[in-house]
Amino acid sequence: GIIFTKTRQSAYALSQWITENEKFAEVGVKAHHLIGAGHSSEFKPMTQNEQKEVISKFRTGKINLLIATTVAEEGLDIKECNIVIRYGLVTNEIAMVQARGRARADESTYVLVAHSGSGVIERETVNDFREKMMYKAIHCVQNMKPEEYAHKILELQMQSIMEKKMKTKRSIAKHYKNNPSLITFLCKNCSVLACSGEDIHVIEKMHHVNMTPEFKELYIVRENKALQKKCADYQTNGEIICKCGQAWGTMMVHKGLDLPCLKIRNFVVVFKNNSTKK
């Protein structure tokens, strides 16, 4: 049999306790621990040769009870067992199936041992439900027509590509949002440098204004009475225009102050380390 436990320390402690307990020896139990070979724990790992030696003894019957960490759930060639016990260890439904798969002998038993109120039994119940859903999904896929299966695969691939593109786009947007100096605004007509992203301030979560003295030297204000009718949601004292004649936005009035409010469509936006966008 195999007892699965969570940590290397608990595997070693259980192995020692069973070995030193005469009652187990009386019924022929010969136990040994089996733990991972990695160095991710403070507890001394087993080498691969030590693992192979323990598994070899388990196959020949010199050892008939392994107390193992999750290293024995997959990847190691271990013979069929009569009993598999998970001692307070619950991970996911895949690990549960793998652990139970070790109990391949006829009339074998799979047991979960846990403290009451630890939440382990509840997680195992969830895993059991997920396992049933997994097999149900496999059954549905196996009964698909070839053309339907191919179409679904293509659909999932396209969805994955779109999700990857959106993730990349969000990552780039976040990068530039955190580093506004990497963005510059050029006049759409004459390409003069108007400002950078760090010069822009947002008012009322919608109006983008530039109040720097340097920017003030780059434009002129022209009266436009028709513009006031269009901008019903805020007051304006005219439009701001590049010296080349290209409109840049409006001179909005906010709390008694004249603020140059920019319209993105009037600029070429340049992203550093990226392509230029209009």
Give how far Cα 17 sits from Cα of 28, 112, 135, 152, Å.
Answer: 15, 19, 39, 54
* Pairing verdict, β 2-4 and 83-87: parallel
Tell me if 190 is assigned to a ligand binding site: yes
Tell me if 242 is assigned to a ligand binding site: yes
Tell me if 81 is assigned to a ligand binding site: no
Q: What is the torsional sign of CA 177, 182, 187, 188?
A: negative
No. of H helices and E strands in the chain? 8, 15
Contacts of 16 (CB under 8 A, 6+ apart): none
Is 112 exposed, middle or buried, given 0-12, 13-18 or 19+ CB atoms closer than 10 A? buried
Q: How many angstroms separate the CA atoms of 212 and 200, rounded? A: 9
Tell me if 187 is assigned to a ligand binding site: yes
Specify the amino acid at residue 113: V
Read off φ and ψ for residue 112, nearest 5 degrees.
Answer: -110, 125
The pair of structure tokens assigned to 147 is 């053309």
Query: Do 6 and 99 touch, CB atoms closer than 8 A?
Result: no
Q: Which one, of 90, 66, 62, lies nearest residue 76 by Cα?
A: 66
Is 208 exposed, middle or buried, given 0-12, 13-18 or 19+ CB atoms closer than 10 A? middle
Q: How many angstroms separate the CA atoms of 102 and 123, rounded? A: 20
Q: Which residues are annotated as a binding site?
A: 187, 190, 242, 244
Q: Which residues are annotated as a binding site for Zn(2+)?
A: 187, 190, 242, 244
